[in-house]
Chain A
Amino acid sequence: MTPGLSTRELMFEAASRAYEDAGIDPRKDVQSFVCCTEDFWEGISITDEYMPDQLGAVLRPLCTISSDGIIGLATACMHIMSGIADVAVVESHSKISDVVNPDEIASFGYDPIYTHHHFDADPRFLAGMEMARYLKDTGTKREYCAQVAVKNKKNALSNSRGVHGANIDKGIVMNSPVAASPLTELESSRGIDASIVFVLASAQKARKLGKHPVWIRGIGWSSDTPVVEDRDFARAEYVEQAAARAYKMANVKSPASYFDLAEVDDTYSYKELQSLEALRLAPKGKAGKMVDTGVFDVDGRLPVNASGGSLGVGHLLEATGLHRTLEAVMQLRGQAGRLQVPRAKRALVQSWRGIPTATGAVAVLGN
């Protein structure tokens, strides 16, 4: 939490570091800036008004998209691919510490006519319902979800950003207070503050700038229906669709064996399992058992959320996708310190926009 800094000051810090790392001057070298924000999390209408100055984007092309950070990366890619930019900047942040009643805002995302006003409940009730259906349809054991929280919080202890790292066991997780049954509080990620800035460049430019370029080989994003009653709660269809697009672009034929590490959505514990299956990193209904037997541990066959994910580090609203990407990029550059997955060359990142959406994005990164 960052009560001493305003949102803009936080962004300035992140941007300065990113530009230093890339060796660029935003006033001269950048042709497009993309910010991923949602008005109500900021408490401002038309958030893009407050974006340009601290990013060095005054009188430059800056736009806001109300979408997840990875979709922001996709937008910057499209700017570069269409030739309108050689260097593009993507920013997203969470300043959840400024929000006094986040539940009220999260609830406000539900359909105003059919859903919102009929339930005076914690907005996570949707996650609880989805989790219950997922467990039943896939035959996944309840304790496997708890193991996700155990794994990720343990991983986060080695991450300098691991605000919510902890050494706990399944029992503690399952006995923690109920958030929205069967989901418990320790299986529900908590919000923290951060600002993340990425600098992207065309191939030609990238070779001249920066010492550690990481390549986006494929990217895809998709949305399932906003009508929650119409969804198949057992599957993350939006992830299946986004992954299919990203894999096609990157020519990934067998995702289960292609990647060295993956950073996937774990906003809630069961989401990691559901996403792994949608990403085809685990067969249907098998992700739970694989997590439980250590396949996805840091020293397992395919480290998933070695960073600690959102459960171990914290949830970053729209910036969650950029957080997943940041952790993967650090790994691919060999700069992940104690978390380093040896010889990491290919990473998968995936995010979800959170309740009550069914929108997510997937990116394939490589060296």
Chain B
Amino acid sequence: MSQKITSYQGHEITPDEVKQGKYLDIVYKFEPKYSWAAGVAISRFLTELKEGKIVARKCHKCERILVPPRMYCEQCFRPTDEWVQIKDTGTINTFSISHVGTDARRLKTPILVAVVDIDGASPGMGILHNLGEVEPSKITIGMKVQAVWKRSEERQGAITDIRYFKPIES
């Protein structure tokens, strides 16, 4: 910083001071509610998940098979052309073992999360999902995995219709 400057502004507040109520604060719970339109592509994707299938879209120009599916190819900038059913197996592209939840609270059981490149889609086409039925220390990049689905009567047409991916016994 400039050596010419001698003081910097800002008053720190410590967590204890907050607990003691040393400073006035206003608490408000903001509850915006949304009902997002899934759109043509994702609506179909979710409908197929309910049936226990994963679908992708194909662009005839670049010939990529895209998952998550979209109605437009972002590389060619044109509408995509057809629905393609792909497999529910894949390869782990990368993974992590999470000890914290969404609000930074420590979890008792870690969540296993991975990007899984799905078989049947173009190389590197991954989706984000959880892993299960696997020892965290045994997970490797390149491991072959298989989707574990909810029972058909429990499926709702959501990404959670797949419970997690588990290693394929070779």
Question: Which residue numbers of A lie inside 8 Å of B, CB to CB?
Answer: 2-9, 12, 16, 19, 25-27, 40, 43, 52-54, 56, 58, 95, 97-101, 104-105, 108, 112-113, 116-117
Contacts and interface: CB of A to CB of B under 8 A. Distances in A.
Per DSSP, chain B at the interface is: loop
B74 A99 contact: no
Contacts of B16: none
A104 B42 CA distance: 28
Contact of A27 (B70, B71, B77): B77
A52 B77 CA distance: 11
Nearest to B76: A27
Contacts, number: 78
B40 interface: yes
Given A40-B32, A104-B31, 4 more contacts: A4-B40, A43-B32, A97-B37, A104-B32
A117 B39 CA distance: 36
B71 A100 contact: no
B23 interface: no
A7 to B, nearest CB: 7
A8 B76 CA distance: 16
Nearest to B42: A6
Interface in B30-74: 30-42, 70-72, 74
B28 A5 contact: no
A54 B72 contact: yes
Nearest to B77: A56
A116 B28 CA distance: 10
A97 B34 CA distance: 9
Contacts of A112: 26, 28
Size bracket, chain B contacts = 20 to 34
Contacts of A52: 74
A6 B36 contact: yes
B137 interface: no
A100 B35 contact: yes
A113 B26 contact: yes
A43 B74 contact: no
B39 A104 contact: no
A53 B33 contact: no
26 contacts: A3-B37, A6-B37, A6-B41, A8-B70, A9-B39, A9-B41, A9-B72, A12-B71, A12-B72, A16-B77, A53-B74, A54-B72, A56-B77, A58-B74, A95-B37, A98-B34, A98-B35, A99-B35, A100-B34, A100-B35, A101-B32, A104-B30, A104-B33, A113-B26, A116-B28, A117-B26
Contacts of B20: none
A2 B28 contact: no
Contacts of A5: 37, 39-40
Interface of B: 26, 28, 30-42, 70-72, 74-77, 79
Residue from the set B28, B37, B38, B71 with the largest chain A CB neighbour count within 10 Å: B37
A25 B39 CA distance: 25
Contacts of A6: 36-42
Residue from the set B33, B41, B77 with the largest chain A CB neighbour count within 10 Å: B77
A27 B28 CA distance: 45
A112 B30 CA distance: 11
Nearest to A99: B34
Contacts of A26: 77
A169 B142 CA distance: 70
A9 B34 contact: no
Nearest to B75: A58
Contacts of A19: 77
Nearest to B73: A53
B39 A8 contact: yes
Nearest to A56: B77
A8 B72 CA distance: 10
B37 A4 contact: yes
Contacts of B72: 9, 12, 53-54
A53 B68 CA distance: 13
B54 to A, nearest CB: 19
A95 B41 CA distance: 17
Contacts of B26: 112-113, 117
B32 A99 contact: yes
Contact of A98 (B30, B36, B71): B36
Contacts of B36: 6-7, 43, 98
Contacts of A25: 77
Contacts of B35: 98-100
A53 B28 contact: no
A246 to B, nearest CB: 33
